[in-house]
Amino acid sequence: MKYIKLLILIASVSLFAACSEESLDSKSIFDSQPKEEQNDFDKWLKTNYVDTYNIRFNYRYMDKETDNKYNLAPADVNKAKALAIMMKHIWLDAYAEVMGEDFMKTYSPRVMQLVGSAAYNSQASMVLGTAEGGLKVTLYNVNIIDVNNPFIDPETPFVDKTTGTYDLNFWFFHTMNHEFCHILTQKKNYSTDFQTISAGKYQTSGWVNVADTDAPSMGFVSGYASGEYNEDFAEIFAQYVTHSEAAWEKILEAGIVKETDANGDVKKGADGKPILDYSGYNAILQKFEILKEYFANTWGLDIDKLREVILRRTAEVKTLDLTTLK
């Protein structure tokens, strides 16, 4: 089984993502699960997650569902409720609105496990989230959520990770879209032309040293995208559908850089203007077009429509009551 991990390495946060090809179907896998005493939140989850989308949403801390090598704290139940409401509204219901409930019931991960704290490892890094084979996603650090004033920023593609961030788009919604992209591409392959565009530029383990702000000049939408082509594909998708057009343009603009000589001086053309290098910009756009065509032709998914719906629903969070189950 492969894993996706989100790591903060002292001054940077990085996303490790990989998924195994395990089959999913729309039949509930929870019909035979042992029953436990149900509170109002459990009943709400049964209706809105299990029955509707075939997802078990675990907000209680469970040893068997978490990695015992970390010192972890359970999720605050009120923050878990808020995240469950937001995740349904922004992620699940957005896809259902565009593609229908059966689509998500068939292809969504089967388990979502919440942990209140981040997970620290021996390398002074912090694990923010893990995903296992398209079947289970664990989201850490849930207790950062401000229930009364949730912060979701679709306008800032380059998050300052050195000072910490409370942007829930960065922590949770980008992650879920990234992972869901992996699930879909494991079911149906995309064109191998994609991996040729940035061939020779992928960093493998060196991606941890690639700053998000520098990545576009290399042809990648984030530092993590420079690791390998499958993560490149999923990062383009997640960045695009969770950010505004203005934010996407910021990424593309960062892909245009001034050419410099051996001394680091900016090269100028005959007109005296700086010579610009568009190679990063062009690479991102070429890969984006392959991605967009893949989703349209293979899944019948218009990613522009999906982004429109996700952004509308993101803005609607301000009007949601995150303390009351309806």
- What is the residue extent of each domain of the chain? 3-319
**CA dist 57 to 30, 47, 81, Å?**
11, 11, 10
- Which residues, in sequence order, are CB contacts of 257 under 8 Å at separation 6+? 217, 276, 277, 280
> Are the C-beta atoms of residues 217 and 283 closer than 8 Å to each other?
no
> Residues 174-198: pLDDT tens digits?
989 998 999 999 999 999 999 999 9
User: How much is the mean pLDDT over the chain?
Assistant: 85
Q: 213-225 as b/e, with b when 16 or more CB fall inside 10 Å?
A: ebbbbbbbbbbbb
- What is the Cα–Cα distance from 40 to 48, expressed in whole angstroms? 12
pLDDT of residue 69: 55
In percent, how much of the chain has pLDDT > 90?
63
pLDDT band, very low/low/confident/very high, at 133 (cuts 50, 70, 90): confident
- What is the Cα–Cα distance from 211 to 124, expressed in whole angstroms? 19
pLDDT of residue 4: 44
> Are the C-beta atoms of residues 293 and 226 closer than 8 Å to each other?
no
Report, as an integer, the average pLDDT of 94-118: 93
The torsion of the CA quartet 242, 245, 250, 255, rounded to 10 degrees, works out to 90
Name the most confidently modeled range: 115-129, 134-148, 156-170, 236-250. 236-250
pLDDT of residue 30: 46
For residue 32, pLDDT beyond 60: no
Residue 254's Cβ-count burial label (10 Å; 0-12, 13-18, 19+) is buried
- Which residues, in sequence order, are CB contacts of 100 under 8 Å at separation 6+? none
For residue 33, pLDDT beyond 80: no
CATH topology of domain 3-319: Collagenase (Catalytic Domain) (3.40.390)
For residue 3, pLDDT beyond 90: no
Total-model pTM? 0.85
Residue 272 vs residue 188, higher pLDDT = 188
> Residues 200-244: pLDDT tens digits?
999 988 888 899 999 999 999 999 999 999 999 999 999 999 999
For residue 29, pLDDT beyond 50: no
Report, as an integer, the average pLDDT of 153-159: 95
- Residue 153: name the closest of 315, 319, 31 by CA: 315
Dihedral of CA 276/222/237/2: which sign? Answer: positive
Q: Which residue type occupies 58?
A: N
pLDDT of residue 125: 46
